Amino acid sequence: MDFKVMFLGLCEGFEILVAVFSVTSCFYMLNVL
């Protein structure tokens, strides 16, 4: 496995993780208020 490909895959996975986290925290804030 190429290191560059692995790094790009990791970045893409991190991007999805951040998106999911932001949506989850947004719903959490709406439920708290």
pLDDT of residue 10: 86
Q: What pLDDT shows up at residue 19? A: 94
pLDDT at 22: 94
What whole-number distance in Å separates Cα of residue 33 and Cα of residue 26?
A: 11
Q: What are phi and psi of 7, to 5 degrees?
A: -65, -40
How many other CB atoms sit within 10 Å of the CB of residue 23? 10
Number of domains comprising the chain: 1
Q: List the domain range (segments joined by +) for residue 7.
A: 1-33
What is the pLDDT, as a whole number, of residue 23?
94
pLDDT value at residue 1:
63
pLDDT of residue 29: 92
How confident is the model over 1-33, as pLDDT tens digits? 688 888 888 888 899 999 999 999 999 999 987
